[in-house]
């Protein structure tokens, strides 16, 4: 892949991972991803971030298209997660940089990951300004956005924010900028990324957006470490982050379920009818067809999450247990929850689901709904009523 000039003497030197489908072992990335690294050519030649270990030679070749690798003076490590630091030991060995800039927590994480106390670490913070010659770098620690070590780098002379995972999207493409692909697609992937990686840290996102504004950073390009670089639609991605971090909800419900003999599925569809009859938009998502990360992509702006499972061995189906554990960890707040399911003889699943939703701080206005074996017209009517009642709760909440 050719390197690309993104600003005068600033180059994208990243790699494209066309074949990635499972991002970090928990989120789908059905369009692949990129690992963006950036090289600044100045009196001090500086590399921002690296790529996974398995792509170290690709990064090496990218850099060598512009300079000799040993000409690198500085390396900035904005984030130590291995998709951005895996190639670091190799690059350090080749480049022998004068300094490696990282946050306090970044240094600890680098030591924990690579066990090398002899690297030329230089810890930076929000007050640090590093001169590269004509250009300079400022930093902003973004602890827990989404790791303790995470930070942003800003090059004021170029109005360029290198934002690491922030504002990223999992898209493998030959295009590098946000005006070169369909904007809706890029925003949809940014939302999916937010829902699965950033959501638990939403209050930190809000604080960070405020801190960037207070710092007076004049930004006309945001270069994340995954996906497309924002140069034309900064307002769109910033507004998306504002809405998602405020957990702004829509008149929308997600019905997520698993089923054995389609009785719980019938309940799911009938609950949806009740919601739709009251003008609530519904996504019906079987966990056998939708990965938990794709469900989260819909949960992220839905006002109600309605979870169904038949009772299996006195509890819920395994895929529902997986989904609830995953969703609870991502800490969506201010949502309405509800549970339902069919049963043969004991019927614990809806109650167990409700308990987890309660622990996850969902509001549960209705009792769990369970139906014995195959639903009848009469019992399905109860499902429709449940949908209507939840629609009223959504409207009340969003009024």
Three-state SS letters, the chain: CCCEEEECCEEECCEEECCCCEECCCEECCCCEEECCEEECCCCCEEECCCCHHHHHHHHHHHHCCCCHHHCCEEECCCCCHHHHCCHHHHHHHHCCCEEEECHHHHHHHHHHHCCCCCCEEECCCCCEEECCCCEEEEEECCCCCCCCCEEEEEHHHCEEEEECCCCCCCCCCCCECCCCCHHHHHHHHHHHHHHHHHHHHHHHHHHHHHHHHHCCCCCEEEECCCCEECCCHHHHHHHHHHHHCCCCEEEEEEEECCCCCHHHHHHHHHHHHHHHCCCEEEEEECCCCCHHHHHHHHCCEEEEEEECCCECCECCHHHHHHHHHHHHHCCCCCEEEEEEEECCCCCHHHHHHHHHHHCCCECCCCCEEEECCCCHHHHHHHHHHHHHHHHHHHHHHC
Least spacing, CB of residue 194 vs ligand FEO, in Å: 13
Nearer to ligand FEO, 81 or 298 (CB): 81
What mask of x and - would describe binding to ligand FEO in positions 168 to 207, judged by CB under 6 A? ----------------------------------------
Least spacing, CB of residue 168 vs ligand FEO, in Å: 7
Residues 212-231 that bind ligand FEO (CB under 6 A): 225-226
Q: Is 81 a catalytic residue?
A: yes
Least spacing, CB of residue 4 vs ligand FEO, in Å: 20
Catalytic residue among 11, 38, 74, 193: 193
What mask of x and - would describe binding to ligand FEO in positions 132 to 151, judged by CB under 6 A? --------------xx----
Q: Is 61 a catalytic residue?
A: no
Residues 51-90 that bind ligand FEO (CB under 6 A): 79, 81, 83-84
Q: Is 165 a catalytic residue?
A: yes
Q: Would you count residue 17 as binding ligand FEO (CB under 6 A)?
A: no
Q: Is 226 a catalytic residue?
A: yes
Give the count of residues interacting with ligand FEO (CB under 6 A).
9
Nearer to ligand FEO, 84 or 382 (CB): 84
Least spacing, CB of residue 22 vs ligand FEO, in Å: 14
Binding site for ligand FEO (CB under 6 A): 79, 81, 83-84, 146-147, 165, 225-226
Active site residues: 24, 79, 81, 83, 146, 165, 193, 226
């Amino acid at each position: 892949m050719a390197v690309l000039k993104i600003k005068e003497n600033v180059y994208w030197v990243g790699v494209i991972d066309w074949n990635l489908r499972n991002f970090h072992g928990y989120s789908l990335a059905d369009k692949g991803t990129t690992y963006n690294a950036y090289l600044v050519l100045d009196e001090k030649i500086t590399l921002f971030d690296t790529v996974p270990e398995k792509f170290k030679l690709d990064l090496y070749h990218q850099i060598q298209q512009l300079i000799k690798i040993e000409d690198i003076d500085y390396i900035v490590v904005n984030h130590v997660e291995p998709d951005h630091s895996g190639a670091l030991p190799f690059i350090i060995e080749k480049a022998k940089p004068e300094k490696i800039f990282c946050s306090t927590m970044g240094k600890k994480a680098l030591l924990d990951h690579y066990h090398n106390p002899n690297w030329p670490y230089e810890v930076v913070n929000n007050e640090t300004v590093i001169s590269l010659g004509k250009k300079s770098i400022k930093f902003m620690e973004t602890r827990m956005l989404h790791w303790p070590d995470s930070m942003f780098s800003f090059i004021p002379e170029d109005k360029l924010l290198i934002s690491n995972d922030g504002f990223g999207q999992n898209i493998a493409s030959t295009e590098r900028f946000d005006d070169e692909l369909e904007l809706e697609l890029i925003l949809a992937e940014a939302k999916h990324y937010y829902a699965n990686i950033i959501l638990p840290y939403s209050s930190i996102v809000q604080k960070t957006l405020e801190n960037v504004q207070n710092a007076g950073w004049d930004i006309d390009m945001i270069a994340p470490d995954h996906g497309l670089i924002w140069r034309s639609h900064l307002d769109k991605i910033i507004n998306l982050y504002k809405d998602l971090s405020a957990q702004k909800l829509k008149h929308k419900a997600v019905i997520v379920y698993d089923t054995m003999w389609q009785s719980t599925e019938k309940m799911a569809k009938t609950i949806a009818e009740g919601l739709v009859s009251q003008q609530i938009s519904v996504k019906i998502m079987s966990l056998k067809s939708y990965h938990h990360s794709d469900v989260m992509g819909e949960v992220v702006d839905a006002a109600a999450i309605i979870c169904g499972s038949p009772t299996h061995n006195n509890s819920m189906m395994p895929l529902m247990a997986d989904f609830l554990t995953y969703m609870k960890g991502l800490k969506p707040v201010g949502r309405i929850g509800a549970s339902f399911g069919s049963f043969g003889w004991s019927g614990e699943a809806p109650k167990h689901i409700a308990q987890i939703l309660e622990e996850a701080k969902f509001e549960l206005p209705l009792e769990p709904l369970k139906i014995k074996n195959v639903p009848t017209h009469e019992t399905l009517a109860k499902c429709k009523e449940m949908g209507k009642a939840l629609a009223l709760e959504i409207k009340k909440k969003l009024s």
